Amino acid sequence: MSSARNKLNAAYIHGSLMIAGLIGAIGGSWNVFILVAAVLTATSVLGGEIRLKQQNRHR
C-alpha cells in the first residue's frame, strides 16, 4: 500500500515533469526539459515538499 507521503511525493514529481515538459516543448529542446525538471525537483526536495525519508514524529 502507498502511504500519503509517497502519493504526495509522486504528485510533486509528476507536476515538476509536466511543467518541465511544457517549458521544454515551448523551448523546443530536450536540454531545457532536463534542466527545468532537475531544478524543479531539487527545489522541491530542498523546500521539504518532497520527503526522501520518513521523519520521526515525537509527541
Q: Which tens digit of pLDDT belongs to each residue from 12-41?
A: 999 999 999 999 999 999 999 999 999 999
Structural domain boundaries enclosing 19: 15-51
Q: Could you tell me the three cell numbers for 57? A: 514524529
Asked if residue 19 is part of any domain, the answer here is yes
State the pLDDT confidence band at 57, using cuts at 50, 70 and 90.
Answer: low
4 in Cβ contact with 45 (< 8 Å): no
57 in Cβ contact with 44 (< 8 Å): no
Asked if residue 8 is part of any domain, the answer here is no
Reported as half-sphere exposure (CB side, CA atoms, 13 A), residue 48 has a value of 1
51 in Cβ contact with 9 (< 8 Å): yes
For residue 25, give the nearest of 17, 33, 14, 15 by alpha carbon: 33
Whole-model pTM? 0.82
Q: What's the number of domains the chain is made of?
A: 1
